[in-house]
A and B are shown apart, each in its own frame.
Chain A
Amino acid sequence: MKRLLAVALGVLTAIGGFVDIGDLVTNALVGSRYGLSLAWATLIGLVGICVFAEMSGRVAAVTGRATFDLVRERLGPRAGLANLVASFLVTGLTFVAEIGGVALSLELVTSVYYLLWVPLVALAVWLVIWRVRFSVLENVFGLLGLALIVFGVALWQLHPSWTGLLHQVAVPHKPDGEGTPTYLYYAIALFGAAMTPYEVFFFSSGGVEERWTRKDIITSRINVFIGFPLGAALSLAIAAVSALVLLPVGVNVDTLGQVGLPVAVAAGKIALAVAILGFVAATFGAALETGLSAGYTVAQYFGWQWGKYVRPREAARYHAVVLLSVLAAVAVLLTTVDPVKVTEYSVVFSAVALPLTYFPILVVANDPDYMGDSANGRVTNALATGMLVVIVVASVAAIPLMIATKAGQ
């Protein structure tokens, strides 16, 4: 019974933790512009994150080692360092976006300018990372993130033509007047939003922290294969309500307030309050995960003591990296850079950086010397290799498309 509860809790937190500022903004933006005609990109991203998280969870359970520890070992110190720098910068960009997202959410409730919230939010993020236990931190915000299910309720309340929506998903069609490069650029943005690298750093490092063994592989798989698809369903619900409410009147989403507007239209004030609670939980939870991941990546590469299960004094360099990341994020946000724009760039750069960590994990998951009889089977290998091709294509195409479309204009 206790184990069943733990599994249920894991699945629920995986659902609630799936959506972050990148998913919120990108899905609403794309829904308001393209309807559900780009849902295929989210679905491919979902398959990708499931494959990636399952492999890295399995690697963590079998080897007891986290992603960047193995990246350095497999790629060598120099290539590993280049990999670390790129991944750290992308995680840092996402961290900025998440802290900005919490501040924007609080502005929606208080109408106090978001920049005034930024230092307080950053302090709260650092305090929670410093003081709160890993399991509490993981479960509380994951569960509160479930408030975003209100987007599904709003979708239901809008009484859409379900066959019409399914048709948009099943038969993708680029709207008239939209260029192909822009369409593909947003496909990569959705793919990057679904497959953000920090999610995997956090997932696998969490596995090492919680001392997963081979027996935990099944639990990890249940979390991934049930929790993530339901989380992706939330992403599609966000895109769908945008498509139904904002697209017909010509609103293109460029603020967090616009993301919640369809919920108010469909289900009223209380539903909107629940949605804002979901915004705060999703972005705050993701800020914790990205902040921790910033520390994980650096500490694992350099072989320092890391994690929440040791006292801060024993992992001083790890906590110093986290603290410096928090300060850097605040400094970036106080330049008055728009957090929504940062989010839009962060999801695309996530797609750019993805092969750097995906490839070494694929190699290790495939290596019987590391994995014994838990190495990738034929089906997993075929799927993971096919996904590698997709990831590399998206990574290579992302920056040229960003330049050609002036970041999706």
Chain B
Amino acid sequence: MAATAGTARIGPSASRRRLTRVAGVLIVLAALGGCVAPAPSLSAYQSKAARTASAALSEVQTARLAVRQAQLGRIPHAYADVLVSGAEDAFAAVQGTFDLVQPPDDPAADKARTSLDEILSDGADLLGRLRIALRRQRADQLARLAEQLAPVAAKLSEYDPAAVG
């Protein structure tokens, strides 16, 4: 009876400890999961590449739209500056995050990475030049750079990591 009572006392506390340990492990795993993790498979990597292309497209199109509206006199210079600078920063963040992902050991993944990297590099370069031209208020350069961004947007829009692979 005493043993039963003892078990009854120890039982819940032992199970509570076990529960705490499991919860602790889960929290650590969840925290680690939040860090940039290597893509576990080709399909997961391709899906990440497709999401990166979509996010990058959004920033390129924002910058193009902002510049077009600024040229039409529909948005003030300060507003266009904030939009283009924001798009450039966000584009760099998207590119940086993708570059940190370890691709799986598969030639298709390497091809997907190389082809997207090329487009992203072109995009980052053009967005930087667009921001410089905007701040210097060079209307002719702005028009040319916005035109040069169009094929980058098209490539990002059509990017299919599976087809590249």
A residues engaging B (CB < 8 A)? 107-111, 249-252, 254-255, 257-258, 260-261, 264-265, 268-269, 272, 403, 409
Contacts and interface: CB of A to CB of B under 8 A. Distances in A.
Contact of A108 (B82, B153, B157): B82
B65 interface: yes
Interface string B62-94: 101110010001111111011100100010000
Contact of B66 (A107, A252, A261, A269): A261
Contacts of B64: 249
B21 interface: no
Contacts, number: 68
Interface string B8-20: 0000000000000
Contact of B74 (A107, A111, A264, A403): A264
Nearest to A409: B51
A206 B73 CA distance: 44
In the A-B complex, list the 5 residue pairs whose CB atoms are closest, starting with the nearest. A111-B78, A252-B58, A257-B83, A264-B75, A249-B61
A111 B75 CA distance: 13
Contacts of A269: 73-76
Contact of B90 (A254, A264, A272): A254
22 contacts: A108-B79, A109-B78, A111-B78, A249-B65, A250-B153, A250-B157, A251-B58, A254-B90, A255-B62, A255-B83, A257-B86, A258-B83, A261-B62, A261-B65, A261-B75, A264-B69, A265-B65, A265-B69, A265-B74, A268-B74, A269-B73, A272-B76
Contacts of A260: 79
B161 to A, nearest CB: 14
Interface in B10-65: 30, 51, 54-55, 57-58, 61-62, 64-65
Nearest to A272: B75
A255 B66 CA distance: 13
Given A250-B54, A264-B69, A258 B62 contact: yes
A158 to B, nearest CB: 13
Interface of B: 30, 51, 54-55, 57-58, 61-62, 64-66, 69, 73-79, 81-83, 86, 90, 153, 157
Where chain A touches its partner, the secondary structure class is: helix
B81 A111 contact: yes
Nearest to B135: A111
B61 A251 contact: yes
A108 B84 CA distance: 11
B79 A257 contact: yes
B74 A272 contact: yes
B58 A250 contact: yes
A266 to B, nearest CB: 9
A250 B90 contact: no
B28 to A, nearest CB: 15
Contacts of B75: 261, 264, 269, 272
A109 B80 CA distance: 10
A243 to B, nearest CB: 15
Given A111-B77, A257-B66, A258-B62, 11 more contacts: A110-B78, A249-B64, A251-B65, A252-B55, A255-B83, A257-B82, A257-B83, A261-B62, A264-B69, A265-B69, A403-B30
A409 to B, nearest CB: 7
A272 B62 CA distance: 16
B157 to A, nearest CB: 6
Contacts of B65: 249, 251, 261, 265
A12 B81 CA distance: 34
A271 to B, nearest CB: 9
Contacts of A110: 78
Contacts of B78: 108-111
Contacts of A272: 74-76, 79
Contacts of A264: 69, 74-75, 79
A257 B61 CA distance: 13
